[in-house]
Amino acid sequence: MNISIVGTTPFVDQKPGTSGLRKKVTVFQTPHYLENFVQAIFDAIPQGEKTALVLGGDGRYYNRQAIQIIIRMAAANGFKRLLVGQHGYLSTPAASVVIRKQKLDGGIILSASHNPGGPDGDFGIKFNTRNGGPAPESVTDRIHDIASSLAEYRIMAADELDIDTCGCYQLGETTIEVIDPVSDYVELMEQLFDFTSIKALFNSGVFNMAFDAMHAITGPYASEILVRCLGAAEESLMNIQPKEDFGGGHPDPNLVYAHELVALFEQPITAPDFGAASDGDGDRNMILGRDVFVTPSDSLAIMAANAHLLPGYASGIKGVARSMPTSRAVDLVAECLGVECYETPTGWKFFGNLMDEGLITLCGEESFGSGSDHIREKDGLWAVLFWLNLIAIKKQSVHKIVLTHWQAFGRHYYSRHDYEGVDQGKASAMIEGLRDRLDGLNGRQFGNISITLADDFSYLDPVDGSRCDRQGIRLSFSDESRIVVRMSGTGTEGATVRVYYERYEPANGKLEEETQAYLASLFVIAEELMQLQSSTGRAKPDIIT
């Protein structure tokens, strides 16, 4: 074996965020940058757990080159077995499936999720642990500490491995298995959902759908499941070929970036009955129906209320969880079902502890992510199949399912306003300024409503006792409205400020108003409290979802 020990110097910016380390491609191409971070991951894994890993990514630019480097580093670091997705492909939820099914020590996922790709775009890398979920903060802190003082890394000299052909290869003491990235995932979906009823839905001749893979990783998965297994028409799938630059698009499944899909629903006569999109690495989803956009918050609540109808959840749910900024729609469902609802910080790793302890079955975030305890990641196609199965069982349109839910539980009007690429100093000053004034805001009157809670969200993990502070500012009002503000950790340029607005309308109230108009009074309050326009340099948000 020709193993090189390469001397290096640490990079001080290699601190993983909520979903790993994300930087510009050009940063990862800096000599030793990728290698340093990968070595820090390997060094952070306990010695007894350095046996078997899975490796793959969303196919974005630099994915294939990074995989070749990591293969040679894994061999040099003594791993006995390395599973690699064919073509370097592996969605984030599929990686969690493989880790759990194959009982691996973890996995390395190459993705910057919903961020743009291409030579001038973003790249990312994250480590998932034995439970299949994102590494907890105790592990990511250890990775950062190691990366901050790293003096050398290990890599094996070897020819480039053929990752386009499934099969086994030997590299030193390491067995490399190039695997079908789709098969294990499909097998699990067949256990959770009634494929027979969904297939009958597609064969009925009165139902049609459109799914936008956004030239990202879910293309191969959607082709196998929706077309080959369930019988959907091939033409119902859009942008299914993964591309290194996502076809020049932004692989974020929301009303702005999934504009090609959204445009189909603006045609009153020819609009599909059901629409969905997924993101770069396949863990997010957007759900549409004729005359209705299903907010991720509502989607989670509707899933919780109807899970018992689906084969994989027929025995009911143990509990639910949502991220703090997510609307409180699912809270009402949990109360009705008599199960616990947990409010966590943003980041899927917080749900993992609750799932491992058997406390929750379903969970979700307002940032277009939902999932269940079948894996330890959010799962875009799982959500699409959940909705298709629900439509097949209820024999109702998406709009009817949503309206019926609101008529039972009321509606949480909800919107997120994103201000992207904001000057870091100005964004921080705005947030810190509001944080400093929190104690004086309780009881403050705005027209006919007043603030009943003003705090900076903290979370005490009920499983491991860990504590997370400063997770976002919450302002609750006397009419059950809410404003939340926080900075996102998923961008790579400037700061992304996110402001969340929520207002509750009872079940017997006005349930089909235009969302932005209904929330307009809260926008005025937010501007008064934070001077959003001057602080962000924006006359209006960059993205409204």
Looking up tokens 């790249």 gives 123
Choose, from 113, 323, 327, 367, the residue flagged as catalytic.
Answer: 113
Evaluate whether 265 touches 97 at the Cβ level (below 8 Å).
no
**E strand or H helix at 74:** helix 63-76
Tokens of 403: 């309206």
- CB count in 10 Å sphere of residue 509: 11
- Residue 379 to residues 23, 313, 384, 414, Cα–Cα distance (Å): 23, 16, 9, 22
Tokens of 144: 């950062």
Looking up tokens 């989803």 gives 285
The residue among 211, 288, 280, 219 whose CA lies nearest residue 251 is 280
Evaluate whether 486 touches 473 at the Cβ level (below 8 Å).
yes
Annotation says 113 is catalytic: yes
Name the residue type at position 3.
I
| Per-state percent for the chain, helix, strand, coil, to nearest 5 | 35, 25, 40
Rounded distance, CA 431 to CA 361, Å? 34
Looking up tokens 């999932």 gives 371
Evaluate whether 50 touches 77 at the Cβ level (below 8 Å).
yes
Evaluate whether 214 touches 258 at the Cβ level (below 8 Å).
yes
The residue among 224, 208, 332, 221 whose CA lies nearest residue 275 is 208
Q: Which residues are catalytic?
A: 113
